[in-house]
Amino acid sequence: MPIAGPISILVTSNALKGKLKYCNILALGASFSDFIYVLVAVYGITHLFSYYKQVIPYILGVGSFFILYMGIRIIRTKLDLTHIDEEQKIPDIGVKKRSGALYTGFMINFLNPTLFFGWLISSFIVLSFAASLGFNTSGLENVVDQNLNQIEKIDGKALIKPQIPSYLQMDTLKIFKKENLLPKEDPKHPVSMLLISLFYAFFLSIGSILWFFVLALLLVRFRKKIDINIINWVVRGLGVILCLFAIFFGYSALKMLF
């Protein structure tokens, strides 16, 4: 559930305008970027990081301008009762706007390299937790751990690897410790590793889509209960936050370059 971030702001601001389909397509586009970043993070293509690291400042720079543009557009938005009225049928968006929403969702996530590190850390937690419960992860949690260590060597900075709390580890679940209940680990194989990485990335993307679908649906359905002036202020406030994200990305890019 990606609760905070540029995509969350775009989904929220557009849902308050009643653009449910636009939000859903936006979330779909963002999920494509999530899938790519998760797959790269967990499958172990860390030898590419040395090359990827060099272009991160430029990706952040382009992303900052893209997000700033979206933020300014949101700030300039002004809704009225005619457009916000839930009883009025929201016209279906055309093919061009649908492709635009898909492109916007994909690019905003793709131009945010911090997602790569975010998914890498969260995947380490999730997979380590699953392995501690006795689930067969085909050793993927060890691969992610190795990825973190390799990136630390390349980047020269230590990445924070949170420890699984003791009450969530296998030691406290003694009932599952019987040998006949534990699935046997399959030997590591490139094909099986790729398949489980694909499934993991795919279902994380599906979870992200479902979260944004539910969020957009709830906001569209209940937006009529909120005063129109409050909605306008909320939408503009979200635009300001989006601009702050852009400034932070731009600052980070300049800091990396100089």
Regions in the chain scoring below 70 on pLDDT = 2-4, 44-48, 50, 79-98, 153-191
pLDDT at 157: 61
pLDDT tens-digit map of 17-39: 888 999 999 999 999 999 988 88
- How many CA atoms within 13 Å lie on the side-chain side of 208? 27
pLDDT at 159: 55
- Report in angstroms the alpha-carbon separations of 71 from 19, 75, 131, 217: 17, 6, 41, 22
pLDDT at 35: 93
* Rounded Cα–Cα distance for residues 106 and 73 (Å): 18
pLDDT at 210: 94
pLDDT tens-digit map of 216-228: 999 999 888 878 8
Structure tokens at 85: 């009225």
Q: Which of 183, 151, 184, 206 is nearest to 41 (CA)?
A: 151
Tell me if 219 sits within 8 A of 8, measured CB to CB.
no
pLDDT at 176: 44
Radius of gyration for the alpha carbons in the chain, expressed in angstroms and rounded: 21
pLDDT at 96: 58
* Rounded Cα–Cα distance for residues 86 and 239 (Å): 23
pLDDT at 132: 77
pLDDT at 163: 59
pLDDT at 205: 93
